[in-house]
Amino acid sequence: MSKIRIIKKNDEYSSEYEVGDIFETEGTWYGGVHITGKSGVPISLDKEEYTELDTEPDTVPDTEPGADEEEEEIQTKIPGYKATVSIRESAGVKKMASERTDELYRLLLSKGYPKEFCAEIAYKHMNTDYTATRMLGYLYRVTDPRIEDLVDEMLAILSDREAIIQKKEMERAQAVINDIYENGLIE
């Protein structure tokens, strides 16, 4: 996994990590990463608490340096739907993906879905461990779903993820309000 440096400490009472510490990530969640603290306790960090260290490049060029970077757009019409799925792919650049995302891509391909569709689902929409794991669970439970059902499940997973993110944001805002009520405004 990647390494991070702590730049802010949201939990001032925790002795598991300090500003400036460097940790190896154990996984990701929608709001940040998981690490193992100094005493071995699992910790979930918010995105604002750390910065990623450049141990590996974010992109891997497929072509020679300086080659023209053309963007290819593939339009896919899904039967029964009025909308068209648009797939954008930059020539020469691949995003680094998690193992779960790669597993999802391979499973979709093995079920016979079009390669472009598999890439769109796995690397563009289901690109976090949470969403990829949920989609993998769906694919292991349902044998050979239609493309329409797969897209429907993807939208449901993304909707659930967005609801969780909003809930966490509201909880954090409420915590700040509670702190202001307890301690007043500190200038």
Contacts of 89 (CB under 8 A, 6+ apart): 71, 72, 73, 74, 116, 119
- Of residues 56 and 42, more confidence is placed in 42
Do 160 and 103 share a structural domain?
A: yes
pLDDT in tens, 110-121: 999 999 999 999
Let me know if residue 174 belongs to a domain: no
State the pLDDT confidence band at 97, using cuts at 50, 70 and 90.
low
Question: Do 48 and 101 sit in the same domain of this protein?
Answer: no
Residue in the structure block whose two tokens are 């969640």: 29
* Res. 59: pLDDT tops 60: no
Q: Is residue 159 part of a domain?
A: yes
Can you read off the two tokens belonging to residue 79?
A: 């039967």
Are 100 and 46 members of one domain? no
State the total domains in the chain. 2
Helix (H, G, I), strand (E, B) or coil at 144: coil
What is the chain's alpha carbon radius of gyration, rounded to the nearest angstrom? Answer: 20
pLDDT tens figures, 122-163: 988 988 888 999 999 999 998 889 999 999 999 999 999 899
Say whether both 48 and 107 belong to one domain: no
Q: Tell me which residue range forms the domain holding 152.
A: 96-165
Task: Evaluate whether residue 122 is within a structural domain.
Answer: yes
Q: String of b and e for 25-57 (b: at least 16 CB within 10 Å)?
A: bebbbebbbbbeeeeeeebebeeebbeeeeeee
> What is the domain-level CATH number for residue 48?
2.30.30
**Local structure of 123: helix, strand or coil:** helix
In a domain, 73, yes or no: no
CB 140 within 8 A of CB 122: no
CA nearest 108: which of 93, 97, 120, 98?
Answer: 120
- The more confident residue out of 97 and 26 is 26
63 falls within a domain: no
Do 158 and 105 lie in a common domain?
A: yes
Query: Residue 77: inside a domain, yes or no?
Result: no
DSSP state letters, 149-160:
HHHHHHHHHHHH
Judge whether 130 lies within some domain: yes
67 belongs to a structural domain? no
Both ends of the chain: CA-CA distance in Å?
Answer: 40
Q: CB 135: neighbour CB atoms within 10 A? A: 24
Confidence of residue 31 (pLDDT cuts 50, 70, 90): confident
